[in-house]
Every structure is written in structure tokens, then in C-alpha cells.
Structure 1
Amino acid sequence: MKKSLFALMALAFCLTACTPAESTIPESDTTPASETPVETGQAEETAPEVGSLQSIEQRRNTGEACYTYQVAQGEIRKLDYANARVETLYQFDEPGTVYNDVIVQQDALYAVTDGTLYQLPLDGGEVTTQPLQPLPGSRTPIWCDEHAVYIIDGNPYNPPESNVACRIDLKTGEITDLPLPYIVLDNVYAAEGSRLLLRRVVTEQPLPSYEEKEAFDAVLQNATSEYDWWDLNTGELEKVLQEPYEGELDEEGNTSKLNFLGKTAERLYFQTIVYNPDKGNMPGELVSFRLDGSDRRTEKFLSDETWLAPLERDGELCWLLDNSGARMQVYDVATGTDYDVGPGSQEEGYPLAFTDDGRVLVIAKWHGDGTMDYGLLPVESYLAGSTDWTPITDDPDGGTIIVF
């Protein structure tokens, strides 16, 4: 349990048999932009062109530094990789006021709070604010491009009418709707240009209200999970692949479901989670598909205890981490190479981010109260099992390791 909990916290620092779609999507598998989109009640004008999307979490690491919002202290901090130093850039009056995290753009940092948009120039200029309308849905933007942040909300337990898809302009604070078709949204996973990879629930009949639990469950039993690319500019959905909502059942009674791990420039990666009601977890696979869902490949076979965690750079999957055994394993996606990097501990040496100068940011020490110290070391040294990292400090003399 401790390892599983920590894996989730570490990811927060920086997220079967399947039927692939044909490489040429039939017309019936594309949802036109003219299909009625969900409205959030915000401005009715058309949203500006969507640029190159990336998650706010991924964007925090620029390769030269990492920016983060510290909830308990109410501070925006910068971790500078070149000098292994941390500095506080801004202190909010009240801790815990920022939704999601700091938004990193080329010239400034932004923070979204309840009713206010903050802009912090990276050249050290004056901090400015912009009033915000009440944010819809979860009020938590997850995605961003060069000029805006995006809130995309929805799940099968609420009707499609309650889906939220909107753009918040980082200069003006204006909120505009996006053309999300009328679908049962299940999750949003990755970005490619102006498109987001989402999963939706497809049913033969309308999904009843969750309050009608028995009818709701009955419809889901025969439902399909469909992965689609959704273009935020046109509103079109392009089908990628699908699987039964509750997983693919084989003749031995095993149920297999896809767990999305990440994408590269050319492929989507999943771990198959296989379960048998009598035997528990079963061995699975690391599989990949082209971005259009074709050309399924088995990259490697996995044990019944393996639970892979992704490590990305600029939104592209680089490593897959396996800390389920006695020793930590790193799978290099680009080369297909496995590395044994040392004892299986998420308390020390767990990798978090890559730097532009060829190093990796790691957890140097895990404290009992849930805080962590950090260090930096060359990627080659890390993969060779070295623990000789440079500690991150907030002291000019290098005397104090920062905990954040």
C-alpha cells in the first residue's frame, strides 16, 4: 500500500484484446463538428484557435527548471537545475487557493484561483491579476497551450449535459465553450497538437441515471469503451480503438482491460491488466498501437505483480518504471531496453523528471511525514545504478536540502 500511495504522489510531481480502428476511419466513425456540443453557459462566441496542447503538469518541467505550487505554504517555487537551487517566487495570502498548479508559459507563470488569474513575469516584473468568471465543472484546468488553459470534465456517473469543455484565455481571463460532442465522457489521457485522446462509453441505449443503479449497471455490462482523438478546433471525434467496458473475457475466465500509460510521437502504450476471479491478478503485457489504433504490438510480457508507471518528457513517454519487485526496473521505450537500477525503493532514487543537460531529478530521501528531499545525477549514471546525486538546496552554501 505504501508503494502504491507513493507512486501516485510521485506521478503528481511532474497521470485485453482490443479492436483497432482501420487506418482510414470510416465516415460513420467520425463525429462531425455540427453535432450539438455541450454548453457550459459561458461566452457564446467561437473560441480562438487551439494551439499545441500539453498537460499543465508536463509543462511545469521546462528542462532548465521546474516550477511548482506548494499548497501548504501557498508558495510558487522554482527549482533551477543548473545550480541545484530552489527559490520562492511568490507567496499567496492564503495557502491552498490555486486550482491544479502553476501554469508555465514562455514569458510568464500563471495561477488560477477562485475569481482571479495571476500573472508572474519570468523576468521578475510586477505581478498582475485579472478577474475571472466563476469556473465551471471541477474548476480545475488540466490542459494548456501557448495562450490558454482548458477544463475538460465528465464521467459516466453524470449525464452528458453536465460535461464541461471550455477555454480560459490567459491574457483576458475570458471563458469560451469548446465543441465537445454529446458523449458519455470517461477520461482524457494525452495530447497531440490540437487533439486530446479521450475515452468514452458507447451504449446501445441511453445510459440511465446513476440513481437507477440496477438499470445503470445493466447497461454498462454491455457497453463499449472507445478511445477517440477529439479535435478541439473542429469538434470531430476520430475513433482509435475499442474494448468491452468491463474488459475482454477469454475462455479461461480471465478479464483483460487496457490501462493507458502514455504516447510517443508515433505510438500509444498500454498495460493489459488481467484478472481472474479465482486466481487474482494474472500476467499481462505491455502493448502499443499506432496513433490511429492500428498495428497492435506486444512490446514485452509482464508478471502478475507488475504495475508500470510512466515518466515523460514534453508530453512524450520515455521510461516505464516497475517498482513491484525487490529491485527497481526501468524500461526505455525508445530502445526497448530494461535497466536494473538498484533496490526496489520508492523512498530513495525514484526518478521524477529529465533536464536539458542530460540529468534526471530523483527523490533523494522520503520522510515519514510525507515530505521529500531531491537530487540530480546524469541519466547514464542513474541507469547504471549510481546514487551519487547532487542534492537540491535552498542554502547558498549548499547546507540545507529543500523539502517541498
Structure 2
Amino acid sequence: MKRILLPLLTAAFCLTACAPAAPASASELSATAETTATAESAPQTQVDTFSVAGTLREVEDAALQENVLYTLQFGDTPEDTTFVKVDLQAAQQTPLCKLEDWGASYVGWLVKGDTFYYMIYDEDGNALLHGRSLTDGSETVWTLAVDRQYPAYLDDQYLYFTRADYTAGMKRVDLTTGVLEDLPLPAQTTQFMDVDGSRFLIARLLTPVPMNVSPEETEQYDALMQNTEIEYCWWDPATGALEKVLREPYYGEEDAQGNRIDRLYLGKAEGKLYFYRVASLETGLENGRVERCGMDGSGVETVFALVDERGAPSVLKQAGEIRWFWQSTPNGLMVYLPATGQQQELTMQGENHVPWPDRGLPDGKVLSSQQEDGSYLVMSEEDYLAGNFTGTTIPAL
């Protein structure tokens, strides 16, 4: 049985560090950028230890800056790819600039000061980091040797790239200079799971011998993994210190019936870490539930049980913290509130579907995913949980 692997990266989520200055029009920016763009290979250095500049954030959780959301909107043709500012308070969308990287794969973007950065892999597989001024349209492009790594975290100065496999890697680029650093990791790190202040939550393998086989070498790999443990721990990159949270057999613990129990990290909230736990049988999933423990692994407890055939729950986050869990049902959504353990089903009203919650907002409101017509919906948490989905609509461009 293969282990459930943590989905670490969400390509095409935006990052924000602070709101930009008033931009020129989209057409002005596009025209100016065409004449001033420069390209270069970012210099690369290798370091033995490193410190985080400020507070770490996940790419996904950094999409929102106060009451402004930055996002890419994709049209029917490549030239319709537009970087958009969504003002949640004024209920207005403003196009900031159009992107013209035909055939590129957009994997991350952020606004820092008056500069919009976005990362792409072009048709030839080159990793390109663009830095475009939102005031005059001038642009710098760095070619990064990141080997299919993707933007995962950022702090006040750097953007971090990670790769998640049996030999994980991490690099970071200085957003002011374009200098790329190859960062050291604890031995046999396999997953990057979360951040807290200036430290990372990682998973690493504890093998009886140094690992020198890949998953493609099936028999040798499986034989080694039978005697391997996986450790979830906090890693402080400035000191190299590791603080164990949990440790278990690589293929999972066993329940009373001898079934292997898979573990999937869901996120953190109010000093607790949350995991999805389930037994994977040949006939399907069994005994699915959400468990939590302290940041140090203490006080493990089951929060609530889940309907097995629905699998792992989705999460609604705000500023890196879980506010809800939710799952789709035949009639709508089931919402789980971790603070109280309450479960609440929201059902469709006539032919209207229940809008999926996309992210939590600082003022206790909920942003619903972009609608088919390009609009957004903002509702209070109380209204949403009461089944009242008639909040403020932010019209499409």
C-alpha cells in the first residue's frame, strides 16, 4: 500500500507583501514592458545555514493583503491573461496589467512595494521570474536554476522554492537582487508541510541505512521502507534544531484489525496541528476522521468523524489558520467547525447550488470562489452558516 502524500504546492495562487502604488492602465503597462524588459540569469550561491527575513508565509495563504486580493484571470485566449486587483471593501475589480507569455505555465505571483512578480515555466522548461513595475511598466526577468521547483513560501525579502519527493530540495531568491541560494536541509527531508514564524514543519525519513534507492526501484525501495520511520518535526534553519512532533512507520500505523492508517496533514489553528486519518482497505476507506495534537505532538485527540467515501476534507483558511473544514455532499456542503466540534449541513435552495467557500477574510467574512461570470461573492460567516448566500457581489471586469 502506498502512503498518502501531502499536496504541498498550489500552482497559480498569488502572494502579497503590501499594496502597490496606483498603477498605470493595463494597455500602458503592456506597451511599456515590451520595450524595457531585460533578461538575465540570476547568480546562485550555496549556503551552510540561513536565517529567515521576518515571518514565513505560505504562497496560498499570502494571496490576501488586508482587503485586497491579487489574482490572475484567464480568458478565452492567451492574450486575455490579466493580473487583477480585487478590492473586497469597494466591491470592485481593477485590471493592473496583461501578460503575454504564450504557452507558459504560471506557477506563482506576488506584489511587493510597487512591483508585481510572477513566476513561469516557458515552453522550453526554463524557469523565469518576472519583476514588473506597476507604475511605469519597466520589467526585469531572471532565469532561475530551480529544476522544476515551485514557489511555496515567502518572507519579507525572499521567495522560497521547494520540491517534494524522496529527496526534497529548497532554494530561495532575493526579490531585490535576483540572487538565488541553494539551501541546506536536514538529512532525508521528503516533505514541506507548514511554517510557523521562522521555522518549517517538515517530514523526514529515518532509515536503517542511508537512502540510496528511488521509488522506481520498487523491490529495493519497498524493502527499505518496511524498516523506515517518518518523522514530522519543526526545523529552525538558523540553528539547525529539530523538534519532533510525531514519528510513525513509513507505511503507517496499524489499527486493531491490522489495517494500515494513512495520515495527511491539513493545517494548524490556535496552537493545534490537524491531520486526516483513515484506514485504506481494498474495499475502500474506513474510519476516516480528523485528529489534532499540540504543536509539540502532545495531547492527540479525535475532533470528529467523517463520511468515509468523501475522503479528506477541504479547509477554509484565514492568515494561515484553519477556520473550517468542509466536504461536498449530494445536497450541498457539510461544514465542520474545529473550535466547537460542530457539524452543519448546508443544502441547495431550489436550483441554486451552495457556493464553495474559497478563503476567510480578516473581518469575519467569507469569500466565495470566482463565479462562472467572473464575479465574486462576499458573505458574513454567520450568514453563510445560516444558509443565507446573498452577500455582496463583486462584479466581473
Q: TM-score, normalised by structure 1?
A: 0.77
Counterpart of 1:56 (choices 56, 59, 62) is: 59
Shift of 1:376: 1.5
* CA distance in 2 between partners of 1:10 and 1:174 (Å): 24
Shift of 1:360: 1.2
Residue 332 of structure 1 corresponds to 337
2:264 aligned counterpart, secondary structure? strand
**Aligned in 2, Cα 1:384/1:211: closer, same or farther, shift over 3 Å?**
closer
Question: Which digits, 9 at most, give the CA deviation of each residue in 1:345-402, with x for residues without a partner?
Answer: 996410002233432111474x5xxx8653122221111001213322135xxxxxxx
Structure 2 unmatched runs, 5+: 1-7, 15-42, 121-126
Question: Which digits, 9 at most, give the CA deviation of each residue in 1:46-95, with x for residues without a partner?
Answer: 65543211111211122402111245533211111112222211112224
Superposed counterparts of 1:161-310, under 5 Å: 163-183=168-188, 185-207=189-211, 208-277=213-282, 279-306=283-310, 307-310=312-315
* CA distance in 2 between partners of 1:11 and 1:43 (Å): 26
1:141 aligned counterpart, secondary structure? strand
**Conserved 8 A contact 1:59-1:314:** yes
Residue 142 of structure 2 corresponds to 132
**Conserved 8 A contact 1:47-1:177:** no
**Aligned in 2, Cα 1:147/1:13: closer, same or farther, shift over 3 Å?**
closer
2:60 aligned counterpart, secondary structure? helix
Match status 1:90 vs 2:104 = no
Range with greater deviation from structure 2 (108-117 or 354-363): 108-117
**Aligned in 2, Cα 1:328/1:247: closer, same or farther, shift over 3 Å?**
same
1:180 aligned counterpart, secondary structure? coil
Shift of 1:273: 1.6
**Conserved 8 A contact 1:69-1:101:** no
Superposed counterparts of 1:115-154, under 5 Å: 115-121=128-134, 125-154=135-164
1:323 aligned counterpart, secondary structure? strand
* CA distance in 2 between partners of 1:96 and 1:346 (Å): 36
Identity percentage over the alignment? Answer: 30
Residue 317 of structure 2 corresponds to 312
* CA distance in 1 between partners of 2:105 and 2:73 (Å): 9
* CA distance in 2 between partners of 1:372 and 1:218 (Å): 51
**Aligned in 2, Cα 1:270/1:49: closer, same or farther, shift over 3 Å?**
closer
**Aligned in 2, Cα 1:376/1:154: closer, same or farther, shift over 3 Å?**
closer
1:83 aligned counterpart, secondary structure? coil
**Conserved 8 A contact 1:74-1:94:** no
Between Structure 1 and Structure 2, which shows a larger proportion of strand residues?
2
Question: Which digits, 9 at most, give the CA deviation of each residue in 1:206-229, with x for residues without a partner?
Answer: 332344321112212332221111
**Aligned in 2, Cα 1:116/1:254: closer, same or farther, shift over 3 Å?**
closer
**Aligned in 2, Cα 1:104/1:289: closer, same or farther, shift over 3 Å?**
farther
**Aligned in 2, Cα 1:145/1:10: closer, same or farther, shift over 3 Å?**
closer
Residue 18 of structure 1 corresponds to none
* CA distance in 1 between partners of 2:263 and 2:331 (Å): 25
**Aligned in 2, Cα 1:234/1:169: closer, same or farther, shift over 3 Å?**
same
**Conserved 8 A contact 2:117-2:129:** no
* CA distance in 2 between partners of 1:43 and 1:10 (Å): 27
Residue 381 of structure 1 corresponds to 383
1:214 aligned counterpart, secondary structure? helix
**Conserved 8 A contact 1:359-1:377:** yes
**Aligned in 2, Cα 1:340/1:324: closer, same or farther, shift over 3 Å?**
closer
Range with greater deviation from structure 2 (307-316 or 349-358): 349-358
**Conserved 8 A contact 2:332-2:346:** yes
Shift of 1:99: 4.5
* CA distance in 2 between partners of 1:112 and 1:178 (Å): 19
Residue 360 of structure 2 corresponds to 354
Question: Which digits, 9 at most, give the CA deviation of each residue in 1:200-257, with x for residues without a partner?
Answer: 2222123323443211122123322211112232233222102222122223132212
* CA distance in 1 between partners of 2:219 and 2:366 (Å): 49
Shift of 1:190: 0.9
Shift of 1:108: 4.4
**Aligned in 2, Cα 1:149/1:12: closer, same or farther, shift over 3 Å?**
closer
**Aligned in 2, Cα 1:267/1:92: closer, same or farther, shift over 3 Å?**
same
Aligned length: 349
One-letter amino acid of the structure 1 residue matched with residue 131 of structure 2: Y
One-letter amino acid of the structure 2 residue matched with residue 117 of structure 1: H
1:217 aligned counterpart, secondary structure? helix
One-letter amino acid of the structure 2 residue matched with residue 245 of structure 1: Y
Higher RCO structure (Cα 8 Å, ≥6 apart): 1
Shift of 1:290: 0.5
* CA distance in 2 between partners of 1:352 and 1:10 (Å): 13
One-letter amino acid of the structure 1 residue matched with residue 396 of structure 2: D
Structure 1 unmatched runs, 5+: 1-7, 15-40, 396-404
Residue 118 of structure 2 corresponds to 111
**Conserved 8 A contact 2:13-2:59:** no
**Aligned in 2, Cα 1:241/1:219: closer, same or farther, shift over 3 Å?**
same
Shift of 1:11: 10
Residue 19 of structure 2 corresponds to none
1:238 aligned counterpart, secondary structure? strand
**Conserved 8 A contact 1:118-1:127:** no
**Conserved 8 A contact 2:149-2:162:** no
One-letter amino acid of the structure 1 residue matched with residue 286 of structure 2: M
Question: Which digits, 9 at most, give the CA deviation of each residue in 1:4-26, with x for residues without a partner?
Answer: xxxx9999768xxxxxxxxxxxx
